Amino acid sequence: MTVSTNPCPNPEARWPAIFALFAIVGLRLALPRSLAASPAWVPLVVVTLLVIPTVLARRMRRRQLYQWLGFVITGIVTLDMIWSLSLLVAALPRHALTPTTLLRSSAILWMSNILVFASWYWRLDAGGPNARDHREAHREGAFLFPQMTPDASDADSPASGWSPGFVDYLFLAFNTSTAFSPTDVPVLSRWAKLLMIVQASISLATIALLAARAVNIL
């Protein structure tokens, strides 16, 4: 197991990513039981039990353990969200949900989709937060942020020494779910393009569900 002893020149706050995970399982509490693979409290307990050793692993500078625990937590909430979406799609032809429940469930899954993929982008881009911490500036990665342009990389530029945080990836995920494109952040990596295809497809599915139900109501 790898233990890092080198100081981080540019440490990144981890609490926004942890907050996002608890926001996902918190939104899950508002889903009807028919759209969940387990009781609502199960994901909350699982995430809590996994976040604790994740935080401890970072404090102990066990970078590899911290990274893999993060992948496991994000993978769990991702699979849970996709399962709920599949149940929502299956329930639509049977008219098993009231319009109010459908609207609420679609909105919850749409917001969860943003938070889930923001977490993936944050964990995977340029080796993840641990790797980004050990660089003086963010000059390459799966996404080309405006601060990474040649002018911004100049030593006298206000963006010199800049590194993305969770909010930057959250903004990217939000744009993908609303505009179905990365807008101001070009995508460079193939894995990132594939993830954005999946995210946009999930977002489109939730919006299409609402439109289909609206047509039926009219």
Q: Report the pLDDT value the prediction gives residue 19, as an integer from 0 to 100.
A: 95
Q: Report the pLDDT value the prediction gives residue 97, as an integer from 0 to 100.
A: 78
Tell me which of 6 and 66 has the higher pLDDT: 66
At 47, the pLDDT band (50, 70, 90 cuts) reads very high
At 52, the pLDDT band (50, 70, 90 cuts) reads very high
Q: Report the pLDDT value the prediction gives residue 204, as an integer from 0 to 100.
A: 87
Tell me which of 18 and 38 has the higher pLDDT: 18
Mean pLDDT within 71-94: 90
Q: Per-residue pLDDT tens for 53-80?
A: 999 998 888 889 999 999 999 999 999 9
At 9, the pLDDT band (50, 70, 90 cuts) reads low
Q: What are the structure tokens assigned to 17, written together?
A: 């990513």
Mean pLDDT within 192-198: 94
Q: Report the pLDDT value the prediction gives residue 218, as an integer from 0 to 100.
A: 47
Tell me which of 198 and 133 has the higher pLDDT: 198
Q: What is the mean pLDDT of the chain?
A: 84
- The answer to whether the CB of 163 falls within 8 A of the CB of 138 is yes
Q: Report the pLDDT value the prediction gives residue 71, as an integer from 0 to 100.
A: 95
Q: Per-residue pLDDT tens for 157-186?
A: 545 678 899 999 999 999 999 887 777 888
Q: Report the pLDDT value the prediction gives residue 159, as an integer from 0 to 100.
A: 54
Q: Per-residue pLDDT tens for 104-145?
A: 888 899 999 999 999 999 999 988 898 888 787 788 889 998
Q: What are the structure tokens assigned to 76, written together?
A: 């769990």
